[in-house]
């Protein structure tokens, strides 16, 4: 009976491995601008559906800014950036939320939120274009679907490990579970999140240039924002952050600037 159970577990692991391998082989796509090959098992339709439902809930639960000047500026910049983005099927929507946190976000499918707390750092239209182009880049690169795909595959791998240790001492099972969870976060999830942020910086720099905004403004924005970043996350080591440190972002933006300037035509 034990031999039969072992064979069953081994066959189950083989099936999981084959399934994951097939997903990897059939779900690769190319990120615009950077040309990176990514694994994404989430369809564009699924991304749009997830983004739309989440954004509608956010709009119901959060206070939306009613300042006509702020909204007009965000709509103007957002539409200019969206017009040059590599995401023709997006349902673009730009909403300003009353929130003191200096932040912005983009949900899959083109749902962009801008917090009023980021506006003192953007200062002008080009600074706002830096922020919105970065968020639009996340959508164009399908970063949301890629993160969800990664979570699904890590979950499948975790289940495989649990299956192989089903007969082990419960203490060893708990230890392996903790090590796998922490290890996957430190070695896979967080580094990948930082890489996505840098990739969105690179794509966003090109998008703002295509839209007629001087890409030099991106460097100026991050130089301003870095002072806030030093105060807000000074106690957190770099390897625990979801975002790269501002100094690295600025260095990379300077390196990517020549390419962006080639696509810059002032409007």
Centre a 10 Å sphere on the Cβ of residue 231 and count the other Cβ atoms it contains: 8
What does pTM read for this prediction?
Answer: 0.81
Please give the pLDDT value at position 48: 86
The residue ranking higher by pLDDT, 182 or 238, is 182
Q: What is the mean pLDDT of the chain?
A: 83
The residue ranking higher by pLDDT, 127 or 188, is 127
What is the DSSP code string of 180-201?
HHHHHIIIIIHHHHHHHHHHHH
pLDDT in tens, 53-85: 999 999 999 999 999 999 999 999 999 999 999
Judge contact between 141 and 204, C-beta under 8 A. Answer: no
* DSSP reduced 3-state for 9: helix
Judge contact between 34 and 143, C-beta under 8 A. Answer: no
Please give the pLDDT value at position 10: 43
pLDDT in tens, 85-114: 999 889 999 999 999 999 999 999 999 999
CA within 13 Å, CB half, 28: 7
- The C-alpha torsion from 135 through 136 and 138 to 140, rounded to 10°, is 180
Query: What pairing do the DSSP bridges indicate for beta strands 28-30 and 37-39?
Result: antiparallel
- Using a pLDDT cut of 70, give the percent of the chain over it: 73
Please give the pLDDT value at position 200: 97
């Amino acid at each position: 009976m034990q031999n039969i159970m072992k064979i069953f577990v081994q066959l189950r692991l083989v099936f999981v491995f084959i399934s994951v391998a097939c997903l990897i082989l059939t779900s690769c796509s190319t990120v615009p601008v950077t040309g990176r090959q990514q694994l994404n098992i989430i369809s564009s339709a699924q991304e749009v559906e997830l983004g739309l439902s989440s954004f509608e809930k956010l709009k119901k639960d959060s206070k939306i800014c009613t300042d006509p000047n702020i909204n007009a500026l965000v709509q103007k910049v957002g539409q200019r950036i969206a017009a040059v983005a590599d995401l023709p099927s997006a349902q673009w929507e730009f909403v300003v939320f009353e929130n003191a946190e200096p932040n912005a976000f983009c949900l899959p499918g083109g749902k962009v939120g801008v917090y009023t707390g980021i506006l003192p750092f953007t200062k002008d239209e080009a600074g706002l274009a830096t922020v919105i182009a970065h968020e639009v880049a996340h959508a164009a690169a399908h970063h949301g679907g890629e993160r969800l795909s990664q979570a699904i595959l890590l979950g499948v791998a975790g289940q495989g490990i649990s299956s192989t240790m089903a007969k082990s001492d419960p203490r060893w099972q708990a230890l392996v579970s903790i090590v796998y969870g922490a290890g996957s976060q430190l070695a896979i999830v967080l580094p990948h999140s930082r890489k996505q942020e840098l990739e969105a910086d690179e794509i966003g720099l090109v998008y703002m240039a295509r839209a007629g905004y001087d890409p030099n403004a991106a460097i100026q924005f991050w130089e301003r924002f870095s002072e806030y970043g030093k105060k807000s996350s000074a106690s957190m080591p770099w390897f625990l952050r979801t975002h790269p440190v501002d100094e690295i972002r600025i260095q990379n933006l300077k390196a990517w600037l020549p390419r962006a300037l080639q696509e810059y035509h002032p409007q």
